[in-house]
Amino acid sequence: MTGGLRLHKLHGLGNDFLVALVDELPTETDAARAAATLCHRSNGIGADGLIFAVIDPQSGSAGCAAAMRLWNSDGSPAEVSGNGLRCLAHAIARALGEAEFDIVVNTVAGPRRCSIRPTHLPDTVVGTTEMGRLGCGPRPDSAGAGPGTAVEEILGPGAIERWDTMDVGNPHVVLAVADPAAVPLRQAGPAVEALFGGINVHFGAVSGPDEVTLSVWERGAGATAACGTGAVAAAAVFHRWGEVGQNVIVRMVGGEARVDLSEPVALTGESTFVATVDVSDA
């Protein structure tokens, strides 16, 4: 991509994004190159992902709508992001001068409705996003050992109590462990991801009534402070196992999200505006 680009940096519970509100979506090649360059923590601005979005000028009285495409920090495309959706809605609301805002965002995984409202904290809103229909996730590509065995080679026998997968518009695997914070993500995350040929990996444990603690390894971004779709996947998997109810608090390094598993499934959490950066060439 060439020419000027205005980027809005926001984060949802420490999961940060660069948001570009543009007139048209870039090509896959240009966007991938821009994401890898701009999201680099040392040589770029730094973020977990880059979002391009086009506001639909024909939205009309039914409410605002936009088309969104997301690229991970390594330049790979992603179908959807729960935290990214919230940050995008926040960025558009700021651009339009709206304190409370409702929008339908069209993603690769389908439309997602998101609403935001202000908080007492500066530059911070609370957003709720409808997350679409949940489904069963993929199984390991390899016919051999499953993800539990792969992690036990790193953590020791019996470290994985059980595991399951979930599709939230993007793929996730959730592994139950005694202490998610004790898992070495930079070793265990890639080991599990490789078995599926690319998947978001989460290590979780029930830490209170209707409460799950989660550590996150994201496909295309690595260890992150939070994952919105991952929070939904973890809540759904632990609910499937009968360990939590339908309204679940998911605690991650960057803060807590709330998941409502009743229809429609909804994710609620904060979004914080960080800065606006003008880039001359990307």
pLDDT in tens, 40-53: 999 999 999 999 99
Rounded Cα gap, residues 106 and 125, in angstroms: 21
Q: What is the pLDDT of residue 15?
A: 98
Instruction: Return the H-helix or E-strand segment holding 193.
Output: helix 185-196
Is it the case that residue 76 has pLDDT exceeding 70?
A: yes
Query: Residue type for 73, please?
Result: S
Average pLDDT over residues 56-71: 83
Is it the case that residue 59 has pLDDT exceeding 90?
A: no
Of the candidates 191, 145, 193, the one whose C-alpha atom is nearest the C-alpha of residue 173 is 193
Q: What is the pLDDT of residue 157?
A: 87
Tokens 């730094």 found at = 46
Is it the case that residue 174 has pLDDT exceeding 90?
A: yes
pLDDT tens-digit map of 142-172: 655 678 777 888 888 889 999 999 999 999 9
Pairing verdict, β 110-118 and 101-107: antiparallel
* CATH top-level class of 5-132+268-279: alpha beta
Pairing verdict, β 222-224 and 211-218: antiparallel
Is it the case that residue 12 has pLDDT exceeding 60?
A: yes
Question: What is the CA angle 40-44-49, rounded to 5?
Answer: 50
Q: What is the pLDDT of residue 143?
A: 52
Residue span(s) of the chain under CATH 3.10.310.10 come to 5-132+268-279, 147-261
pLDDT tens-digit map of 83-120: 999 999 999 999 999 999 999 999 999 999 999 999 99
Is cis: bond before 264, omega within 30 of 0? yes
The residue that leads in pLDDT, 155 or 244, is 244
Helical pair 185-196 and 147-155, crossing angle rounded to 10 deg: 160
Average pLDDT over residues 219-235: 98
Spell out the residues 6+ positions from residue 75 whose beta carbon is closer than 8 angstroms to its own: 32, 33, 35, 36, 220
CATH of domain 147-261: 3.10.310.10
CA distances (Å), origin 20, targets 7, 8, 23, 24, 125:
5, 6, 10, 10, 19
Q: What is the pLDDT of residue 2?
A: 47
pLDDT tens-digit map of 180-224: 999 999 999 999 999 999 999 999 999 999 999 999 999 999 999
Of the candidates 71, 85, 87, 79, the one whose C-alpha atom is nearest the C-alpha of residue 34 is 71
Of the candidates 69, 67, 6, 76, the one whose C-alpha atom is nearest the C-alpha of residue 35 is 76
pLDDT tens-digit map of 253-281: 999 999 999 999 999 999 999 999 999 86
CA distances (Å), origin 239, targets 244, 246, 257:
5, 7, 16
Tokens 């991952």 found at = 230
Q: Please list the alpha-helical segments (H only) found in 40-137.
A: 82-96
pLDDT tens-digit map of 15-42: 999 999 999 999 999 999 999 999 999 9
Q: What is the pLDDT of residue 280?
A: 85
Q: Where does residue 205 fall: left (phi above 0), alpha (psi -120 to 50 degrees), or beta otherwise?
A: beta
